[in-house]
Structure 1
């Protein structure tokens, strides 16, 4: 069974965090949500999330996928935490999937993982001037190698479904999406 780590920082975007956790679990992916510190995480709109674990407890584990929900100030806390940058670099260096949505692609850029890549992010959260080797595109979800980025809360479901397809295949993605009764 594939394993995914979802990092939860105070002030993360709850819609992105919960959507990814929920859909990955529907796809029979083992999901571990980990807070940067022990205890509940209060998300950007006041929803209180209770992580399964902590970054400290999980930082030496290996996951098939590491996901960073966006939101502010959550994405800034992720970017400022050297443990997060090290974990991302280790997983990306080993060829594992690394994904970020909304303002969190800036964390991938700060870790040096977006150099020479195409990516997307919440408008204004990542500057091409700050990261000249990054090609920013205006697409809901961008896959460049083993790096996946997405725009924001409105693209969270597409982001999660893309991650399912990458980890479990297109048939699994279609099964999960079908059960959601999404309108097109």
Structure 2
């Protein structure tokens, strides 16, 4: 089982790496993939990280989930037509897609959220085209193959939700207990 976290300049550090950490603790393989053309990616907080792979050379057919961290860099996702095509292919095939904060706006603009329950960072609800917006009523919501979450403060919740889906309820509960999470 493998998850791909897509990185672009301006991604939210904690939103990405809290989820990546939780997944790895559950034994899920995670690759970070840069869409910037270089492996060094600078987060919204000015932290430079080195991605595992570059987008153009990565084989996505071996991954079950694409994860989009949010942040001001979310707008950069739209600039990568090949990423938009890949997301469309994943969605059409029923593969899992997860997005947090502003990143669910990408899924909304692509039409993936029509008739689905979703959440996002407050103020981005109008970008979730056709979604049933749950807003602050939930931290994380899964509807079909799409999982969305509100923001940095719900990053652990998103990670645990993906563990629940990809591994089991018990694994997610045990992991929450082991990390002292009482969310």
TM-score range, shorter chain: over 0.9
Give how far 1:107 is off: 0.7
- Whether 2:51 is the aligned partner of 1:51: answer yes
Alpha-carbon distance in structure 1 between the residues aligned to 2:163 and 2:60: 24
**Corresponding residue SS for 1:86:** helix
What is the match of residue 68 of structure 1?
A: 68
Sort the Cα spacing of 1:149 and 1:42 in 2 relative to 1 into closer, same or farther, 3 A: same
TM-score by length of 2: 0.92
Q: Distance in 1 between matches of 2:69 and 2:87?
A: 14
Paired with 1:183 and 1:174, the residues of 2 have a C-alpha distance of 10
Conserved? CA contact 2:120–2:150, under 8 Å: yes
Which runs of 5 or more structure 2 residues have no equivalent in the other structure?
A: none
Distance in 2, Cα, partners of 1:26 & 1:141: 19
1:98 equivalent in structure 2: 97
Deviation digits for residues 88-144 of structure 1 (CA, Å, limit 9, x no counterpart): 11112212110100000011112221122111100112416x72x222112211111
Alpha-carbon distance in structure 1 between the residues aligned to 2:159 and 2:83: 21
Indicate if the aligned counterparts of 1:62 and 1:91 stay in contact, CA closer than 8 A: no
How do 1:72-91 and structure 2 match up within 5 A?
72=72, 74-91=73-90
Residue equivalent to 1:136: 133
Q: State the alpha-carbon separation in 2 of the partners of residues 35 and 81 from structure 1.
A: 11
Aligned length: 180
Offset of residue 22 of structure 1: 0.8
Task: Tell me which moved more, 81-90 or 52-61.
Answer: 52-61
Moved over 6 A (4+): none
Cα distance in structure 1, aligned partners of 2:60 and 2:48: 26
- Secondary structure of the residue aligned to 1:49 is strand
Contact 2:176 2:182 in 1 (8 A): no
Question: Given that residues 39 and 52 in structure 2 are in contact (C-alpha distance below 8 angstroms), is that contact kept between their aligned partners in structure 1?
Answer: no
| Residue ranges of structure 1 left out of the alignment (5+ in a row) | none
1:60 Cα deviation from its structure 2 partner? 4.4
Post-superposition CA distance 1:33-71 (Å, at most 9, x none)? 000022211100111111100111225434111100000
